[in-house]
């Protein structure tokens, strides 16, 4: 299943920006899974910002996600 594969790739990506690094450090220091009134949350080993999965600054991964959602009959393209 490609959706699960993408989530695993996001979990394993090292390409993180300063904002998420700071949020993770604050969460670890405070021993919490939610930070700043639910702006940041850790759930199932994924970082979420405002209830959306944080997307690392990994260009190859971003292109793969766009391709998966763009190159479908529903998206209007076939290849």
Is pLDDT above 60 for 25? yes
Confidence label for 8 from pLDDT (cuts 50, 70 and 90): very high
pLDDT digits (tens, 9 = 90+) for 36-61: 777 888 888 888 888 899 888 899 99
- Domain range summary for the chain, segments of one domain joined by +: 2-70
Quote the tokens at residue 18: 């300063």
């Amino acid at each position: 299943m490609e959706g699960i594969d993408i989530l695993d790739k996001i979990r394993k990506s090292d390409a993180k920006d300063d904002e998420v690094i700071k949020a993770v450090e604050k969460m670890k220091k405070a021993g919490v899974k939610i930070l700043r009134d639910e702006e940041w949350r850790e759930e199932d080993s994924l970082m979420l910002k405002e209830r959306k999965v944080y997307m690392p600054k990994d260009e190859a991964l971003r292109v793969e996600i766009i391709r998966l959602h763009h190159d479908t009959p529903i998206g209007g393209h076939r290849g």
